[in-house]
Structure 1
Amino acid sequence: MQTITIKTTIDAFIGKCFDLSRSIDLHVQSMRNSNEKAIGGKQSGLIELNEFVTWKAKHFGIYLKMTNKITVLEYPHLFIDEMIDGPFAKLRHQHKFKSIGSKTEMIDFFEFKAPFGIFGRLAERLFLKKYLEKLLIKRNKIIKLEAEKPQTI
């Protein structure tokens, strides 16, 4: 099992950051390079407790499908999505939010386990962890940019 932890400070209030993080539409926008699309379950808007989304995306030259479910949602401080069907042996993404004045610290705890026993563990260490970390950092940059946009009246 591998764990990735990423902290992102965003100059926006916690509720806005929380909602942007569970926006299906913003997620699709942030994953444009992998041609990621929501193809089942909740396909747009804000995902809620016990809802699921099925994603289809191209990674490593092949299309993969993965279904994730929101198993915990405590607005605006925490939500957890877990893979219920897909390419990993296990995947759990904990999204935590903490107010720091008018800013928000967004913390991702991303746990995953590749399939295929020893070969999966080797892939985790050689390239998969770094690849997933880059995806998460890119996604967080998009959330930060959107949250910090000046509001228009």
Structure 2
Amino acid sequence: MPVIELVTHINAPIGKCFNLARNIDVHMLSTRQTGEKAIAGRTSGLIELNETVTWRAKHLGVWQTLTSKITEMEYPNFFTDEMVKGAFKNMRHEHYFYSINAQTLMKDIFRFESPVGMIFDIIFLNDYMTRLLEKRNALIKEIAEMS
């Protein structure tokens, strides 16, 4: 199963970064190139522990629907979202936040497995998912450091 690990340094307090990372509206802004919209469950604002969100987006030329659930949360240090329904065989995204001298180190660990197979996942999907996560993190950083 592929694992993507990203680290983003943000010049902003940990609580602000944590809340931006779980903000549905910020997520939709970061994925506007895919037309991603929250269509069920929590559809705006801050998603909380045990809440779900259903996303609809066009990925790889195909409209897809994915429902994820916040399965773990410890404010402001950690939360996990996991796919409960969608195109992946499985998907788990762990979000970690570390406060360092009034700044934040945000770490993502994203594990996924598609139904297509490991070779497709490693050769193609890994890069695609990495780019999506990098765009998301860049927007979180930009917003957090603005104010």
Structure 1 residue 61, shift from structure 2 partner: 0.6
**Which residue does 1:129 correspond to in 2?**
126
TM-score (norm 2): 0.99
- Render the CA deviation track for 1:6-29: whole Å, top value 9, x for unaligned: 000000000000000000000001
Paired with 2:104 and 2:71, the residues of 1 have a C-alpha distance of 23
CA RMSD of aligned residues (A): 0.6
State the one-letter code of the partner of 2:89. A
Structure 1 residue 110, shift from structure 2 partner: 0.2
The count of residues paired between Structure 1 and Structure 2 equals 147
> Is residue 6 of structure 2 the alignment partner of residue 3 of structure 1?
no
> Is residue 136 of structure 2 the alignment partner of residue 139 of structure 1?
yes
Paired with 2:138 and 2:65, the residues of 1 have a C-alpha distance of 24
Structure 1 residue 72, shift from structure 2 partner: 0.3
Paired with 2:25 and 2:133, the residues of 1 have a C-alpha distance of 16
**Which residue does 1:27 correspond to in 2?**
27
Structure 1 residue 109, shift from structure 2 partner: 0.3
Structure 1 residue 125, shift from structure 2 partner: 1.5
Paired with 1:113 and 1:132, the residues of 2 have a C-alpha distance of 11
**Which residue does 1:72 correspond to in 2?**
72
**Which residue does 2:81 correspond to in 1?**
81
What fraction of aligned residue pairs are identical, expressed as a percent? 51
SS for the counterpart of 1:146 is helix
Please list every run of 5 or more consecutive structure 1 residues that lacks an aligned counterpart in the other structure: none
Runs of 4+ in 1 over 2 A off after TM superposition: none
Structure 1 residue 78, shift from structure 2 partner: 0.1
Decide which structure has the larger Cα Rg and report it: 1
TM-score (norm 1): 0.95
